[in-house]
Each structure stands twice: as C-alpha cells, then as structure tokens.
Amino acid sequence: RAKELGRGQFARFAPEMSAVAIRKMALAHDLREAVKKEDELQVWFQPQIDIHHDKIVGFEALMRWEHPEMGFISPTEFIPLAESSSLICDVGHWVLSESVRVAKRWIDEGNPPYEVAVNVSAAQIWQGSIEYEIADILRETGLPPHLLCIELTESLFVDHAEFSVRQTLGKLKALGVTLALDDFGTGYSSLGYLIQLPFDKLKIDRVFVAEAHKSERMQHILKGIIALGKGLGMVIVAEGVETPMELALLKDLDCDQIQGFLYARPAPRDVIIQTTKRAMARQRSAA
C-alpha cells in the first residue's frame, strides 16, 4: 500500500514519469494488495426494473474500492488499470464470487429470485478458463445458473478471433447463465456481426437515453434499436434513466427494462432492496 511504500519508493520511479503515470502505478500496486486483503473492495448493486410489470428483475453488481488514503476510486479508473495487467482476472474472480454469494443470500432470506448481473472484462473471456470459474462458483453457492447474467462489451471482439470468443460464449450459455451485451451503441463492431452472437439481453447505453428526448432523430434510432433487439428475441434494458420523461418515452418505445438513478443509485446489498421498493412505490404514486 502507498503509505507503507512511503515517499522513498516513489522516488525510485523515473523522474520523467508524469503525475498521472505515477498515480496509475501506485493505484495498480494498491489494488493488487486490496484484492488479497479484500477489506477495501465492495460490490454495490443497482436494480433493473421491468417497466411494463412494475417489478424488480434483478440487480447489477458494480464494484467499489475505498482506498484508505484516497477515498472512493471510480471503477472507470481502476478497472482499466486492472485490465492492463493480469490483475483483472483476480479482481474479476472476486466480484463474481461475491455477487453470486449475495444473490444466493437474498433468496435464502426469502426474497423472490432476483437475477444478478456481473460485468466481465474481455480479458477474463480471452484468458480461457472463465467457464470453469463460473461453474465452480455456481456449484459452491448453489445459485440457479439462470439467475446469473454476464455483462460483456463489444471490446470482446477487438483484436480477437471471433471463433474462440464465440466458443467461450457458447460454453457459458451451456452452463445456463444468460449473456448481456453492455453499453450497446458505443462500440465499433458491425451490427450484423453482433446480432449473430448468443446474447439474451441488450443494454442500450445511456447516451441514447439522454439524447432521445432532445432529438427526434435520436428517438428514431432508439426505437429502431429496441425493435431490432426484440425482433431477435433479446430483452432490452435502457441504462442511465434519470427522469420520469425518459421513463415515459422508453415505455412508449416498448423497452422492457430500465436501470438508472430515477429508481436507485448503486448501494450496498443490505439496503438496496428496501431502497428500490421505496423508489417503486414513489414512482407508482407519481404516475
């Protein structure tokens, strides 16, 4: 950790290193330690709501890291850091097993069977043993496989053989877990190519949601994506829904599920279910 490492250690970094590069190196070091010790890492959860049946579908697991000196570090900063080394596989394993454990505990506490959605980095798929890792976790916890959703992004296909990725995705599906394509619309892959892969869910990136009520053109695009995904048998989730207006539009466009601050921000497992239920009651009485 940076504190124990002390100033002397940082002095050993080459003098021409920028402050950004030094921060990256220090964080990567500290994250490695945090994964070993586990007490600085947490998984928070954000609900996914079925907007036509007004029902909680499940929760996305989102990692949080509370650094002892620097406070909360965003996953948008530390996940890419972990991805640039083999660290992502350790971090990823930790998140998977923790999230699946929580989902099983919710069931054991008498809740309905909520899905848990876990983000998995491309490197974890490429690494070649993710299907065994997930099979082990499911067996150890006893969570029914269909309650685990694996969220992947288009970065899966960057610089990588389509064949081996497709094979791994097939093995995951064979375990009974579901697959979601996250941040849809922000990547570079061709549509024709993505729709041939076995995704069960399409998560539309929040830039589309944010733009749609300002721009009629964007509304057409959003409508088209939803119709296309549904036509192919996928469940459509809109990310980043913040306002009742956005919700109303997504209902009109026949989107299936939403996730966003309108209902709940990500929160720890022992509060998120109650928070979500209260938010749903609030939406109901506002409607």
Interface residue list for ligand C2E (CB under 6 A): 46, 62-63, 74-76, 79, 92, 95, 119, 121, 151, 182-183, 206, 239-242, 259-261, 266
Q: Single out the residue of 275, 279, 258 nearest to residue 267, CA to CA.
A: 275
Q: What stretches of the chain show up as alpha helix (H) in DSSP? A: 2-11, 19-37, 75-83, 87-108, 122-126, 130-141, 162-175, 191-194, 206-212, 216-231, 244-252, 269-286
Supply the minimum distance, in Å, between the C-beta of residue 249 and Mg ion: 19
The tokens describing 9, both together, are 């250690």
Supply the minimum distance, in Å, between the C-beta of residue 222 and ligand C2E: 16
The entry of Mg ion, ligand C2E, none near residue 74 (CB within 5 to 8 angstroms by kind) is: ligand C2E
Supply the minimum distance, in Å, between the C-beta of residue 214 and ligand C2E: 16
Nearer to Mg ion, 45 or 106 (CB): 45
Q: Is 98 in the site for Mg ion (CB under 5 A)?
A: no
Q: Is 115 in the site for Mg ion (CB under 5 A)?
A: no
User: How many residues sit in the footprint of Mg ion (CB under 5 A)?
Assistant: 5
The entry of Mg ion, ligand C2E, none near residue 260 (CB within 5 to 8 angstroms by kind) is: ligand C2E
Check if the beta carbon of residue 40 is closer than 8 Å to that of residue 71: no
DSSP state of 62: E
Q: Is 259 in the site for Mg ion (CB under 5 A)?
A: no
The tokens describing 193, both together, are 């190519």
Residue 79: φ, ψ to 5° = -65, -50
Binding site for Mg ion (CB under 5 A): 119, 151, 182-183, 239
